[in-house]
Structure 1
Amino acid sequence: MVTSNKEVLVPDIGGATDVQVIEVAVKPGDSIKAEQTLITLESDKATMEIPAPCAGVIQELKVKVGDKVSEGSFILTLASDETKVTKQEATNATIPPKKAEESASGSNQPSKIVEIKIPDIGTDSAVTVIDMAIKRGTKITQDATLITLESDKATMEVPAPFSGGITDVKIKVGDKVKQGDVIALAQVIAAENKNQSVKAEQPVAALKQAESSGRETAEKANASAMQTVMHNAEIHAGPAVRRLANQLGVDLSKVAGSGRKGRVVEEDVHQFVKKVLQGGGSSNGLAISSAPIIDFSKFGTTQTQLLSRIKKITGINMHRNWVTVPHVTQFDEADITEMEAFRQANKAEAEKAGAKLTPLVFIMKAVVAALKAYPQFNASLDSMGENLILKKYFHLGVAVDTLSGLVVPVIRDVDQKSLIQLSLELAAISKKAREGKLLPTEMQGGCFTISSLGGIGGTAFTPIVNCPEVAILGVSKSEIKPKYINNEFKPRLMLPLSLSYDHRVIDGADGARFVVHLVSNLTDLRKLLL
């Protein structure tokens, strides 16, 4: 087979633009295999590896760490013995309309009927079909939108994996679908199908979901006029957007939709709130004036430093949570003298299993016991704020400090895992967080969050509830203190705890009871066995 040079381009990344290259895994002269990672991209919500479309030898590299790329950007030149038409070449090719129809119908070339399936959408849960762009007889081109799906967090368009003609449609608007479900049957030309994947799966499914809001925001910037708004019940918006609007007290009928067909997306709600807070719109509630613009350079030398994407997003979420959740913080101390003695005595045993036994895993176990005793802490308000959803699982978020900012990976089923298992998993996911390789699904589904500053210092702080959770535990640095026990003062290792909770769900008495129960479990670990 004749060797030829091929241009490898950035594939479909869900409409995202100017995504940063954070790692280049190859260099000129490298021999690579098909599906081997070439570069790693990072958006503000997800990290994605771009694989090699085929085996070959790297001839020329066109990107470097720090570059911003979009779909179709030139990555590298590859010497390959495969013949594969790049997406750009396919786009530039001109096909007479008549021949295109003949090709789709298979009148002049061998063709076959194949199934088009739901690709990897970053979740195992069923999602809703909210729009159908095809019907029987529709002629499709590669990467054209087939259907639009909506989860409770994002909207995603599913593209066609090849060109052809739809012969049968298997789903309809309103259906619930999962990865692998059949969307439609399509007739494709065998010659084309040889070099095209039948599966609709893209290597960027997780990023596609995370970037939906960003794509729709870009559409908003290009909008020339405001959409006509209607009553809330008639507004085109998904459950996640309606939930956010309810939390922020926003009337959706006053929000202009920038998404497809005038759909209101989360960024539209955030922009509406921002406009109101800055005095650019009317509000029936309290108007907060914007901060004054100050030229700090007139006081001395300054330097402007750009905030990381994670810090920007965290700032927005923290501000929303602080404004919408009525916080109360309960403070207490736990005597962990015996716990620490037990930990020290079993560190070597844990090290044999490759684990580092830290105080945090003991706290996680004690928190789960408290959540079982007080289930209103393991809950969330529904989107209307009228019902409390009690969770029967115990997934704990653990705040991790990274160079880019604070992230909260979730450890699942804490109640079912041993201290050593939790230590291993906590170390692995913390490492992944600091390397910027967490997937969106690894930061979802938490019931309760723990933010530990014990390794740094401090005696107490007020952690902000990670909505839609209803409580968060802050852990500060432990220290030896004198405690009056049996008519004498004894040195005891005391651990400061700060419990913040949503006062709409939890009253002060229950907050105090939860902390007392938690302190009791940490003071005497034997109670966790009861």
Structure 2
Amino acid sequence: MTETSARFREFKMPDVGEGLTEAEILKWYVQPGDTVTDGQVVCEVETAKAAVELPIPFDGVVHELRFPEGTTVDVGEVIISVDVAPGSGEPAPEAATPAQTPVAEAPAEPEKPKGRQPVLVGYGVAESSTKRRPRKGAPVPGQATAAVQAELNGNGSAPVARPLAKPPVRKLAKDLGIDLANVVPTGPDGVITREDVHAAAAPAAEQAAPTGVSRETTPALAAAVVASASSDARETRIPIKGVRKATAQAMIGSAFTAPHVTEFVTVDVTRTMKLVEELKGDKEMAGLRVNPLLIIAKALLVAIKRNPDVNASWDEAAQEIVLKHYVNLGIAAATPRGLIVPNIKDAHDKTLPQLAAALGDLVATAREGKTSPAAMQGGTVTITNVGVFGVDTGTPILNPGESAILAIGAIKLQPWVHKGKVKPRQVTTLALSFDHRLVDGELGSKVLADVAAILEQPKRLITWA
């Protein structure tokens, strides 16, 4: 945040996580002329880790939005300016609106800048709207004025009605390079739907293809059209960005930096499943989410307590092994934005009800897409539950900076030798991957064996904890 004068203040893109350098503006919640108050959320941005809402730290009236939705902005760039003393002095030209400025005195249309000009959110689209949106952009001076002029028709006598569409539909239209003003609405009260945008994209794609070249064989066209409603489409191209891009880079770095070793154990968890049912009726667990993951998480925490050397990280720069005397337990979560691994801070100090509450909050926040970057930093050990997809087990890749990750397979009723007889029992397979620089085979085996022993006999949670 900076001050441009005693009247106007600027809000810069903050570093919403540790060491992040850029973020994409997903959605603006305000427009020029709107009144804002200290702490009010003005926009939502997506970093390499999560989607984050940004509150503004002062009161005033929005003067200018420097970047449109869909633009990736460097940390430290000014994204919005606010008039903190509205009504004092002469109003800035950019703050004028069609209603405030008589038509007869409308200013001349400003000279168009060279290159593609970002468009102010909510004020139509720029020229050559069939091009892909910019991934990087620079602030455009006087953008508010240009947006107001863009709303006037050819003779500047009246504003053009803004097409009705929900924010996700507007974003889809931007991705596809479709001008909503040219889309025929079919929704209630003239609202443009996703299907309307797809229908408008299909003929545009056909026109963009060179004569005699089919849509399937035009890579440039396939890259321009992110999605298509056409039944004969053979490819869909999705930009790699945000959380998915960061996850891919982290997984590559982890796979080719830390020497992975994975061990497996198949275990009878019948008693654990009975404990889960008993806990659901316990008054101390009332209102809390109780499931096998809760017991497995507690079992892993006990195993780490018994084998503390597994909870460590490798400092390549300092050539040191860093032993952690706390456990920030990561839980891998699949979300529409990609795989994220938020963690429960100081999970080792939590009781079972506290751990259940923390797990419930973590899952709910992840599903809503509101997980903060801070919640995904500082993890020490992770659990990934592939069993929810019906998978028996897997060989998980370490979360960067951590020493171990436990994969939980599907829990199934299987024939099992119990007390000398073959009986149907609840069985699952666990897989523990670990960094072999930090954890040798003996240590990794002890941790996995302890988790299995607790799940076979949950009463060990009391005797070993």
The TM-score bracket by the shorter chain reads: 0.5 to 0.7
1:391 and 2:324 aligned: yes
Point out where structure 1 has 5 or more consecutive residues left out of the alignment.
1-5, 89-214, 219-294
Paired residues of 1:62 and 1:76 also in contact (CA < 8 A): no
Report if the CA contact (8 A) 1:394-1:447 is conserved.
Answer: yes
CA separation of 1:53 and 1:461: change in aligned 2, threshold 3 A: closer
Q: 1:67, 1:354 → 2: CA distance? A: 42
- Distance across 2 between alignment mates of 1:16 and 1:317: 14
Alpha-carbon displacement from aligned partner over 1:212-238 (angstroms, at most 9, x marks no partner): xxx9xx9xxxxxxxxxxxxxxxxxxxx
State the 1:514 CA deviation: 2.0
Equivalent residues of 1:395, 1:446 under 8 A apart = yes
Q: CA deviation at 1:457?
A: 1.5
Matched residue type, 1:525: P
Which residue of structure 2 aligns with residue 138 of structure 1? Answer: none
> 1:376 and 2:382 equivalent?
no
* Contact 2:279 2:285 survives alignment (8 Å): no
- Secondary structure, counterpart of 1:522 in structure 2: helix
Per the alignment, residue 94 of structure 1 pairs with: none
Q: Which residue in the other structure is 1:283 paired with?
A: none
Match of 1:406 among 323, 333, 339: 339
Does structure 1 residue 72 correspond to structure 2 residue 78? yes
Instruction: Answer yes or no: is 1:41 the counterpart of 2:45.
Output: yes
Partner SS for 2:236:
coil
Residue of structure 1 in register with 2:405 after alignment:
472
Asked whether the equivalents of residues 391 and 409 of structure 2 are also in contact (C-alpha less than 8 Å), the reply is yes
What is the Cα deviation at residue 432 of structure 1? 2.7
Mark the CA change 1:494 to 1:12 in structure 2 (over 3 Å): closer, same or farther. closer
Deviation, 1:67, is 5.1
Counterpart-to-counterpart distance in 1, 2:57 and 2:404:
46
Task: Tell me if structure 1 keeps the 8 A contact 2:266–2:427.
Answer: yes
Report how far residue 298 of structure 1 moved. 8.8
Relative to structure 1, is the Cα distance of residues 526 and 43 closer, same or farther in structure 2, using a 3 angstrom cutoff?
same
Structure 2 equivalent of residue 492 of structure 1: 425
1:60–1:78 contact (8 Å) kept in structure 2: no
Alignment of 1:426 onto 2:430: no
Q: 1:438 to 1:507 in 2, by over 3 A?
A: same
2:108 corresponding residue in structure 1? none
Between 72-81 and 510-519, the greater mean CA deviation after superposition: 72-81
Q: Secondary structure at the match of 2:12?
A: coil
8 Å CA contact 2:47, 2:243 repeated in 1: no
Specify whether residues 28 and 520 from structure 1 end up closer, same or farther in structure 2 by C-alpha distance, changes over 3 A only. same
Amino acid at match of 2:402: E
Matching of residues 253-402 of structure 1 within 5 Å: 297=217, 301-349=234-282, 353-383=286-316, 387-402=320-335
1:131-210 equivalent positions in 2, closer than 5 A: none
Q: Is 55-64 or 341-350 further displaced after alignment?
A: 55-64
* Residue in 1 that maps onto 2:14: 13
Tell me the CA shift for residue 399 of structure 1. 0.8
Q: TM-score, normalised by structure 1?
A: 0.53
1:399/1:450 contact within 8 Å kept: yes
CA distance in 2: counterparts of 1:424 and 1:389, whole angstroms: 29
1:511 maps to a residue whose letter is: G
Q: Does 1:453 align with 2:386?
A: yes
- The alpha-carbon distance between structure 1 residues 471 and 296, as it changes in their structure 2 partners (threshold 3 A), is farther
Q: Alignment identity in percent?
A: 33
The answer on whether the counterparts of 2:12 and 2:80 sit within 8 Å (CA) in structure 1 is no
* Alpha-carbon shift at residue 433 of structure 1 (Å): 3.0
In the alignment, is the contact (CA less than 8 A) between 1:59 and 1:78 conserved in 2?
Answer: no
1:425 shift after superposition: 1.4
What CA deviation, in whole Å up to 9, does each residue of 1:25-45 have, x standing for no partner? 446886643322222222224
Unmatched tracts of structure 2, length 5 or more: 1-6, 95-135, 139-214, 220-232
> 1:409 and 1:392 mapped to 2: Cα distance?
19
Q: Given that residues 280 and 286 in structure 2 are in contact (C-alpha distance below 8 angstroms), is that contact kept between their aligned partners in structure 1?
A: no
RCO comparison, higher one (Cα < 8 Å, 6+): 2
Change in CA separation of 1:334 and 1:487 when aligned onto 2, cut-off 3 Å = closer
Q: CA deviation at 1:304?
A: 1.6
Conservation of the 8 A alpha-carbon contact between 2:312 and 2:321: yes
Task: Write the distance in 1 (CA, Å) between the matches of 2:20 and 2:279.
Answer: 49
Change in Cα spacing, 1:44 to 1:400, as seen in structure 2 (3 Å) is same
* Alpha carbons of structure 1 residues 297 and 427: separation in structure 2 relative to 1, 3 Å: farther
Alpha-carbon distance, 1:478 to partner: 0.7
Q: In the alignment, is the contact (CA less than 8 A) between 2:396 and 2:405 conserved in 1?
A: yes
1:75-103, Cα deviation, whole Å (9 max, x unpaired): 677884689x99x9xxxxxxxxxxxxxxx
1:509 to 436, 442, 455: 442
1:455 alignment partner, SS class: helix
User: Offset of 1:402 from its aligned partner?
Assistant: 1.0
* Cα offset, 1:12, TM superposition: 4.9
Residue 454 (structure 2) aligns with: 521
The residue that corresponds to 2:102 in the other structure is none
Could you tell me how far 1:427 is from its partner in structure 2?
Answer: 2.1
Counterparts of 1:67 and 1:12, CA distance in 2: 12
Task: Give the counterpart letter for 1:381 in structure 2.
Answer: W
Matched-pair contact (CA < 8 Å) for 1:61–1:76? no
- Partner Cα distance (1:68, 1:327) in 2: 35
1:324 aligned counterpart, secondary structure: coil
Cα distance in 2 for partners of 1:481, 1:419 equals: 29
SS of alignment partner, residue 38 of structure 2: coil
Q: Which amino acid aligns with 2:301?
A: V
Distance in 2, matches of 1:450 and 1:389, equals 21
Q: Structure 1 pair 404/319, CA: closer, same or farther in 2 (3 Å)?
A: same
The one-letter code sitting in structure 1 at the alignment partner of 2:289 is K
Q: What is the distance in 2 between the residues matched to 1:515 and 1:52? A: 48
Residues 471 and 298 (structure 1), Cα distance of their counterparts in 2 relative to 1, 3 Å cut: same
CA gap 1:30/1:442 in 2 versus in 1, 3 angstroms:
same
Q: CA 1:508–1:74 in structure 2 vs 1: closer, same or farther (change >3 Å)?
A: closer
Corresponding letter in the other structure for 2:452 = V
2 CA distance for matches of 1:440 and 1:504? Answer: 28
Deviation of 1:8 (Å) = 6.8
Q: What is the deviation of 1:509?
A: 3.2
Q: CA deviation at 1:339?
A: 1.4
Deviation of 1:412 after TM superposition, in Å, equals 1.7
Distance in structure 2 (CA, Å) of the matches to 1:469 and 1:489: 40
1:58 deviates by 6.6
